[in-house]
Structure 1
Amino acid sequence: MTEIAEFKRGPGGRPTREEAERRLGTLLATAMRLFLERGFEAVSVEEIAKQAGVAKRFIYARYGDKAELFIAAVEQSFVGRLEDTLHGIEPSRHGVERGLYEFGQKLIAMAMQPEAIALHRLFVSSAPQFPEVAKRFVERNRERAFALVGHVLRFYADRGDIELRQPQLMMEQFFISVIGIPQRLALLGMRESAEDEDQRLRLAIRLFVNGCRPSGNKA
């Protein structure tokens, strides 16, 4: 039985750019769907290749192993989408608390998407058996995610509303204080009422802003 062809061939025997991009997108989307449905360990490269309509040798040539394929699938499905969304967000010209509150609402909305929660569960359940996969993903994407938060925080710092004395630490603190509790509850299949979630966000923003106000300008 012959392997499935990797790509449709163009006149010169090579796949067209459009076809290559389409097949690669199909491969990563198929891999992500299977990983979310059944977990990292239960899904084989052979099954992914079969369902995506590509050859196993293409997957191994491009990604090396299943872990790299998994990371690439996550980066396309979630990290890339996060970047696209946040890059399109312009910081509010209103006061810093209102601006960060509106930004926080968008972060929570993205973090609470069913696919995002399913991915978080997948990482948590797989990490004890496959710590290297989680480590590789964090090392490659942590700075990307926090840089997007930093874009908004630096706007208010440049305007003089806050000081980023320890930029990386403060970006992480903002991110975790905004989505930490809602996301943890969601992992357990729970969610606060909209009113409680809103109050928590407003308090998180107020505490963050008060802790970052420029010296001599404490509220």
Structure 2
Amino acid sequence: MTEERSQGVARRRGRPPEAERSQRRDDIVDAAVTLFVAEGFEPVTLDRIAAAAHVAKRTIYTYIGDRTEVFLAAVERLRERALHDARPDEGLQGLARGIVFALHSDDAVGLHRLAIGEARRFPDLAVRFYDDGPRRYIAALRERLPEHDGPRAEALFALLLGEPHRQRLLGLRPAPDAEEAAAHAEGALLALGLTDDSTA
């Protein structure tokens, strides 16, 4: 019997199950977000992320990639949750609520601050943050608008952030709860005349 088995630790051989891989990836992203939000981009190394996530550095490379890819994985995870949590039967209204709730959250605001703060030193990070974040949200809104109206999708996205998001970035207000996010989204839709009838 090996020492590992004698201590009750039996390592699996081969590729981990998908659920285990997903959880490990989430653990890495969670650890990275905590560090990024607290300290910024440059001070946070892969070694520190690995230590915080209790994984080997090579595991991060295997599951995600370098430090930039880890940051973008956090942006992608927020987006996927916002877009996939919106039920298809809720249409534009459900998507708008999901975007407000996701992008006004503590994690999203922290990542947004980081992207702004590091934009001059890491311009590629800023470009990819915009492409993987705002640009994709606008595209999703456009898909649910009548005639796939691009300018109105951009206007709606701006309203879904709005003054409350500016205040969030400055630390002047807390993250909204689900009810507050729904009210904000509804106000943005009404401001553009996007009622249930207009988006059917």
- Scaled by the length of structure 1, what TM-score is found? 0.66
- Structure 1 residues 190, 28: closer, same or farther in 2, change over 3 A? closer
Counterpart CA distance in 1 for 2:20 and 2:98 is: 34
Aligned to 1:208: 192
In 1, Cα distance between the equivalents of 2:114 and 2:193?
Answer: 33
Letter in 2 for 1:90: E
CA shift, 1:85, in A, is 2.3
Residue of structure 2 in register with 1:29 after alignment: 30
1:10-69 deviation line (CA, Å, top 9, x unaligned): 2xx214213333222211221122111221111110011122122212323444421111
Counterpart in the other structure of 1:160: none
Identity over aligned pairs, percent: 30
Q: Deviations over 1:133-165 (max 9, x none)?
A: 121232234443123323442xxx2xxxxxx4x
1:122 paired residue number: 114
- Residue aligning to 1:65: 66
- Residue 90 of structure 2: SS of its match in structure 1? coil
Q: Distance in 1 between matches of 2:67 and 2:149?
A: 35
Contact 1:174 1:208 in 2 (8 A): yes
Match of 2:125 in 1: 133
Work out which of the two has the higher radius of gyration on C-alpha atoms and give 1 or 2.
Answer: 1
Measure the CA separation in 2 of the matches of 1:19 and 1:205. 40
| 1:181 matched residue in structure 2 | 163
Of stretches 58-67 and 42-51 in structure 1, the one that deviates more from structure 2 is: 58-67
Aligned position for 1:80 = 80
Of stretches 61-70 and 123-132 in structure 1, the one that deviates more from structure 2 is: 61-70
Shift of 1:176: 0.4
Secondary structure in 1 matching 2:86 = helix
Structure 1 unmatched ranges of 5 or more: 1-7, 92-98, 158-163, 192-197, 215-219
* 1:199–1:57 Cα change, 3 Å: closer
1:172 is displaced (CA, Å) by 1.0
Match of 1:90, SS? Answer: helix
Report the CA distance shift for 1:144/1:178 in structure 2 as closer, same or farther (over 3 A). Answer: closer
Aligned pairs for 1:142-161 within 5 A: 142-153=134-145, 157=146
Distance 2:87 2:184 in 1: 26
Aligned residues: 179
Alignment CA distance shift 1:89-1:151 (3 Å): farther
Aligned residue in 2 for 1:112: 104
Q: Give 1:186 shift.
A: 2.0
What stretches of structure 2 of length at least 5 have no aligned partner?
1-9, 174-182
